[in-house]
Amino acid sequence: MSQHPSWFTEAHQASGSSIGYRVEKLLHAEKTPFQTIEIYQTTDWGNLMVIDGCVMLTSRDNFLYHEMMTHPALFTHARAKRVVIIGGGDCGTLREVLKHEEVEHAVQVEIDERVTRLAEQYFPELCDSNNDPRAELLFIDGIKYMAEAEPESLDLIIVDSTDPVGPAEGLFNAAFYASCYKALRHGGILVQQSESPIAHIELIKSMRSAMRTAGFSAVKTLPFPQPCYPTGWWSCTMVRKGGDLAGFRERGALSKNFPTRYYNADIHKAALAQPEFMREALGE
């Protein structure tokens, strides 16, 4: 990471690339027991959250990530009543989940409470649903939470984590996926952010292999644009306990009674299509 007075730049060593934002000022910086969090005011992208030198989100483009981490899975499931979000401290994923009326209870399990408190201050639009009576915010270890979850008690698990280093490292292995498999009901879905198809295809392959080892048979990796992340292109990987992932409730997506800025039924269908290099690498 490098900075000079008017730009914040994140250098991404693995892809030999970087992304930068013109900033007007540093709004906040602190070191928590888990990580270092910075908030910048940018000239064109609203507020910018950085954790341990890595861009987490901007006001302008976070809707791409939050909508693709939630709506494809929720419209694939027949009726997801109980949802757990591991991570997701900025609360944007929670907000999107609670747009679905069938959701009766959504638990957000974030290890670092300061991420959420800073989001409430600097990204209040993402925290609109924090006081929804269906929402429960826990600030504890998500790995431990899933290991102790009641068997077959959940319909959807969303792993909205940082990169697989530091606090999030343990969220990318077969042991964690086995906990998720056990906690899901038949037909339940696990979806996890799976980094860039351009820069991290080997990580995606290892994730998918570990998910299958844990018992999941149906696996889909959905790519989507995300300008603030390395390479500008990101993905989520979705797996199911029983059933497949080929179809979704298209009629429900077409007639949804809530606003989105990126997700719709056609985007869902398009995201299920695999670019040729991903087909070859992932064996699809």
DSSP one-letter string for 92-140: HHHHHHTTSTT--EEEEE-S-HHHHHHHHHH-GGGGTTTT-TTEEEE-S
Measured distance CA(242)–CA(155) in Å, rounded: 12
> Residue 171 has what pLDDT?
62
* pLDDT digits 0-9 by tens, 259-271: 999 999 999 999 9
Handedness of CA 169, 191, 85, 28 (dihedral sign): positive
Measured distance CA(19)–CA(232) in Å, rounded: 9
> Residue 243 has what pLDDT?
86
Domain span(s) for CATH 2.30.140.10 in the chain: 7-58
Distances (CA, A) of 38 to 32, 124, 181: 11, 16, 35
Domain span(s) for CATH 3.40.50.150 in the chain: 62-282
Between 62-76 and 265-272, two packed helices, what is the crossing angle to 10 degrees? 90
Over the chain, what is the mean pLDDT? 93
> Residue 162 has what pLDDT?
60
What single-letter DSSP state applies at residue 150?
A: P
Instruction: Classify 7-58 by CATH class.
Output: mainly beta
* pLDDT digits 0-9 by tens, 151-162: 999 999 999 976
The answer to whether residue 76 scores a pLDDT higher than 50 is: yes
* pLDDT digits 0-9 by tens, 174-202: 889 999 999 999 999 999 999 999 999 99
> Residue 14 has what pLDDT?
83
Measured distance CA(168)–CA(111) in Å, rounded: 10
Measured distance CA(51)–CA(197) in Å, rounded: 22
Instruction: Classify 62-282 by CATH class.
Output: alpha beta
* pLDDT digits 0-9 by tens, 123-171: 999 999 999 999 999 999 999 999 999 999 999 999 997 655 555 556 6
> Residue 1 has what pLDDT?
46
> Residue 167 has what pLDDT?
54
**Known binding residues:** 35, 66, 90, 110, 141-142, 160-163, 167
* pLDDT digits 0-9 by tens, 79-99: 999 999 999 999 999 999 999
Question: Strands 82-87, 154-160: parallel, antiparallel or unpaired by DSSP?
Answer: parallel
**pLDDT (mean) for 256-261:** 97
Q: Which is catalytic among the residues 52, 160, 244, 266?
A: 160
Assess whether 160 carries a catalytic annotation.
yes
**pLDDT (mean) for 38-46:** 97
pTM score of the predicted model: 0.95
Q: What percent of the chain has pLDDT over 70?
A: 94
Of residues 228, 179, 221, the one with CA closest to residue 200? 221
Between 201-213 and 174-183, two packed helices, what is the crossing angle to 10 degrees? 50
Of residues 107, 102, 119, 138, the one with CA closest to residue 37? 119
**117 backbone dihedrals φ, ψ, rounded to 5°:** -65, -35
> Residue 246 has what pLDDT?
86
> Residue 144 has what pLDDT?
94
